Chains A and B, each alone.
Chain A
Amino acid sequence: MLYMLLHATVADGPPVPPDADTTPTKWIEEMEGRQVTRASNRLRPPDEKTAATVRVSGGQTLLTHGPYAELQEQVGGFDLIEAADLDEAIEIAAKHPSARFGAVEVRPLWVG
């Protein structure tokens, strides 16, 4: 099955120790070996104000600057993975550093 891992930074989460290794290098290596990753990227951080939100209403395209909602937890990146089942997806998510320093939402894809 295909799962989307959404990596979130938690606003009121525990402070990250300055010497902590937050880079997912080891995770990427392992997952490349296991051939689970289908797509992967980081989003530009919200404080760069690069986000734009599009809504269409009554045939009019409405553009607002910034993310679509003021979220407590901001999505900072994603990995699209293929796993045998939810338990494998949870295991993969739990190994990612963002599970320790923030949170990872595991969402099954509609078809997959």
Chain B
Amino acid sequence: MGGVAPLAGSAAVHDALRSAFTDEWGRVVATLIRITGDWSLAEDCAQDAFTAAAKRWPHDGIPQRPGAWLTTTARNSALDRLRRSTAEARKLKEVASMQELEQAGSHDGDRDAEESIPDDRLRLIFTCCHPALPLDARVALTLRTLCGLTVAEIARAFGASEHAMAKRLVRARQKITNAGIPYRVPTGELLPERLDGVLAVLYLLFTEGYVASSGPDVVREPLSSEAIRLTRTMAQLMPDDPEVLGLLALELLHDARRPGRVDDAGRLVPLEEQDRLAWDRGRIAEGVDVLTTALSHGQPGSYLIQAQVAALHSTAATSVDTDWSAIAALYDHLAKLNPSPYVDLSRVVAVGMARGPAAGLELLHELDLFGRLAGNHYVPAAEADLLRRAGRHREAAAAYRSALELVANDAERRYLDRRLAEVS
């Protein structure tokens, strides 16, 4: 099983276990699914391997190649489990996967064992995000199989019961088997369309962790870091795709501003009032770097355009210094590429900053955003901000009140309450 590092202290073992879990869980599960074709078995065996590591590494030392150690251990556990189950009922399919497992294990002791294990995470993510699965199942399956989040953790993040979440995962795995959803990276003309689907799931995961759509947001923060980690993996595995890089840049640039978004009392701080010194400069630099690389790879798509907007915000010294005209132009481009009332609303805000609140208000009505986003608190909230800046306080107060009737998120509610008090 390769060389073993000298006996390490328990803190070092703890760290090694933690980082092995973060780095290797998805890879181990993905490899086991490819060999056995059995999703539940793959997860159980990955669990076995990490349990064994927690027991053995403190005594035997940390293996030089933790990934290879874990994959081999998981593979052996799969063989054991299959041998036990086939003792009673020998199923052809299981015998076939045992043969594959044994073949895959014949490289044991090979120093290059880890290199010979192909990276199956890409096919795993395309399968988890297959459009034949319901969206909530895609998200849950991605978190469980690729990130190794427990069912309880996923249930908590989405406000579902553990029982309901477990059922959702079981149904999704059954559908993959019964409907014949392939375990494969799509090729040809299918790839761009399916890649869009994968990126949409990753972005959804990120925004769920960034802007909780309702209730307290503490439990959701890990979703953003998982999304960034998965997008990084995607960027490693598909390094030339401008939209994959665009999404990574977008996530990094948003995440960099997280420290300034909420004050000590948990109140949402609007962008113009955020302490820009609190922003994570390293993360901004990394985001801008990724963005620059992405822009050299082709025509900007929707994530890349949004990343350009985020970069303009993140690198401006103050809100007033921000190049709002450039932002308005980017949103204009985005609206043509990907028409959406939300994009139009962002354009309204940018125009309101670039050319003044009156221009913003005019565009807000011209684009019929009250009609197109009826029942959504963002429209009256944006109108209220524009009215406040135009000095029309009485109308602004009325608009803040309408926004408050519609808002569900606690942090945004507090922001609107404070603004209402300012204009009342």
Interface residues of A (CB under 8 A from B): 1, 3, 83-87, 89-91, 108
Contact = CB atoms under 8 A, between A and B. Distances in A.
B200 interface: no
B89 interface: no
A110 B132 CA distance: 18
A84 B178 contact: no
B207 to A, nearest CB: 28
Nearest to B190: A87
Contact of A108 (B180, B186, B190): B180
Contacts of A89: 180
Nearest to B189: A91
B38 to A, nearest CB: 16
Nearest to B181: A86
B179 A86 contact: yes
Majority secondary structure, A binding face:
mixed
B266 interface: no
Given A85-B181, A108-B178, 5 more contacts: A84-B180, A85-B180, A85-B184, A86-B181, A91-B190
B124 to A, nearest CB: 15
A90 B186 CA distance: 13
B166 to A, nearest CB: 24
**Binding site secondary structure of chain B:** loop
Interface string B298-335: 00000000000000000000000000000000000000
A12 B257 CA distance: 48
B182 interface: yes
A1 B130 CA distance: 18
Contacts of B181: 85-87
A55 to B, nearest CB: 28
- The 4 A-B residue pairs with the shortest CB-CB distance, nearest first, are A85-B182, A1-B180, A85-B180, A86-B180
A63 to B, nearest CB: 34
Contacts, number: 26
Contacts of B130: 86
Contact of B182 (A3, A87, A108): A87
Interface of B: 130, 132, 178-182, 184, 186, 190
A89 B182 CA distance: 11
Contacts of A85: 180-182, 184
Contacts of B180: 1, 3, 83-86, 89, 108
A89 B163 CA distance: 33
A90 B197 CA distance: 16
Contacts of B132: 86, 90
Contacts of B182: 84-87
Nearest to B188: A91
Nearest to A85: B182
A60 to B, nearest CB: 35
Nearest to A91: B190
A84 to B, nearest CB: 7
Contacts of A87: 181-182, 184, 186, 190
B188 to A, nearest CB: 10
Contacts of B178: 108
22 contacts: A1-B180, A83-B180, A84-B182, A85-B180, A85-B181, A85-B182, A85-B184, A86-B130, A86-B132, A86-B179, A86-B180, A86-B182, A87-B181, A87-B182, A87-B184, A87-B186, A87-B190, A89-B180, A90-B132, A108-B178, A108-B179, A108-B180
Contacts of A84: 180, 182
A54 B217 CA distance: 55
Contacts of A83: 180
A89 B181 CA distance: 10
A89 B180 CA distance: 9
A107 B182 CA distance: 15
A108 B175 CA distance: 10
Nearest to A88: B182
A85 B127 CA distance: 12
Nearest to A89: B180
Contacts of B186: 87
Contacts of B190: 87, 91
A82 to B, nearest CB: 11
Max chain B CB contacts within 10 Å: which of A3, A83, A87?
A: A87
Contacts of A91: 190
A83 B132 CA distance: 16
Contacts of A1: 180
A1 B190 CA distance: 20
A37 to B, nearest CB: 17
A91 B132 CA distance: 13
